[in-house]
Amino acid sequence: MKKNINASHTPLYREAGFNLKDSKTTQEAFAAELDHPHEPENYIYSRYRNPTTVAVEQQIMELEGCKWALLVETGMAAIDVAVSVFQKGKDTRPWLFFHEIYGGTNSFIDTVLIKRRNLDVHRFYANEGLYDFEELERMLKEIKPEFLYFEAVSNPMLIVADVKRIMELAKQYDCKIIVDNTFGTPYLWKPLVDGADLVIHSATKYMSGHGNITAGVICGNDEELMKEAIEYRKWAGHFLSPDDAYRLGSQLKSFDLRFKQHCDNALALAEYLENHPMIEEVLYPGLESHPTRKEALALFGDKGFGGMVTFDIKGDSDEDKREKCNRFIAALEDHIPLVPTLGEVDTILLPVEPVWGAKYPLPGTIRLSVGIENIEKLKGWIGDALEEL
């Protein structure tokens, strides 16, 4: 017995290859491959397309408000697909990346795009997280990049870019736009609705939300770009396993609820920390004191400001700050562990200096990925740990 079970959810299809029956249907299936048909027939091989994965891609299309989405095994794989569709041998134009992006992406640029593929990659550096639009325009004019790649919210300083202005400027110079929307999430901003060409996510973070899946997704509206992305995904062998897709699909159903709670908790905690005598400074785009609160309000409206909060512990010297930071982490061990990821339902923390090193030489700084726990409980844990200092 193989078919027609009255399942209420898209089943988990684990097959590597699908039953194509005869040569006519085989030919049809291969001919339609790049059109990415969503009908139940014509599945060929799971590296090409899998019905469980396609069902989750449709959930993400609805979230991002876009025409297509392609799942892959990690956020890094999504970045690889997104930029590689613009690699056209000798005709490849220069590419421009903002420097204030995920560290792994900067390493990918150095070790893969430049060192191995010898591509003409340029970087736009922010000045203490703030963007000089004259300089950006000069680069767009002189370099004539094929695309500009950026994140709306920087990490770990949580600087929100004036993305509408960046995008207007790029379009003026015939430059496409790729956005890594992992931190903002479609809850706060839908770049494809505002004219971006491609959006990628590390679905490992807020989309899956429980720290138990690694996944990535590339989203877009343009059909030609979709075909290029399907082709690259298939032949570079990037794909999300149906098992992981199935779990991601279940976890995505609570995404909006979770992210709203992340935002509410983060704002409440940021306000609490800002008024605490042991805290030097809190960086959260929802606070009056944040340098890009205006940009955040313009982009996110009244939806919230995300789930990440960065703060400095007070100390008499750098050494004292380091020591207090260590004691704070130790005091929280049972409630808020040090885990180098983000976007989970449980609050986790990361000390900034050991991870970012000289780039952010702030010895007492901690980046919190605020979870969805009861806020009074969260404040209690953190208050108790600060008390011990």
Ligand X SMILES: *Cc1c(COP(=O)(O)O)cnc(C)c1O
Single out the residue of 53, 154, 185, 214 in contact with ligand X (rule: CB under 6 A): 214
Single out the residue of 11, 104, 195, 301 in contact with ligand X (rule: CB under 6 A): 104
Single out the residue of 75, 285, 307, 363 in contact with ligand X (rule: CB under 6 A): 75
Q: Distance (Å, rounded) from C-alpha 332 to C-alpha 366? A: 12
Residue 108 in contact with ligand X, rule: CB under 6 A: no
Sign of CA dihedral 35, 87, 111, 367: negative
| Residue 103: CB minimum distance to ligand X, A | 9
Strands 68-72 and 216-220: antiparallel
Residue 103 in contact with ligand X, rule: CB under 6 A: no
Starting at the edge strand that comes first in sequence, how are the strands of the sheet with 121-124 ordered?
68-72, 216-220, 198-202, 176-180, 147-151, 95-98, 121-124
Cβ distance to ligand X smaller for residue 208 or 221 = 208
Stretch 167-196 residues interacting with ligand X (CB under 6 A):
180, 182-183
Single out the residue of 176, 205, 233, 276 in contact with ligand X (rule: CB under 6 A): 205
Residue 261 in contact with ligand X, rule: CB under 6 A: no
| Residue 203: CB minimum distance to ligand X, A | 7
Residue 259 in contact with ligand X, rule: CB under 6 A: no
Residue 10 in contact with ligand X, rule: CB under 6 A: no
Q: Distance (Å, rounded) from C-alpha 324 to C-alpha 331? A: 10
Residue 204 in contact with ligand X, rule: CB under 6 A: yes
Residue 247 in contact with ligand X, rule: CB under 6 A: no
Cβ distance to ligand X smaller for residue 84 or 214 = 214
Single out the residue of 28, 32, 34, 74 in contact with ligand X (rule: CB under 6 A): 74
The one segment of 72-80, 139-147, 223-231, 379-387 that binds ligand X by CB under 6 A: 72-80
Residue 150 in contact with ligand X, rule: CB under 6 A: no
Name the site residues for ligand X (rule: CB under 6 A).
Answer: 74-76, 102, 104-105, 151, 180, 182-183, 202, 204-205, 214, 216
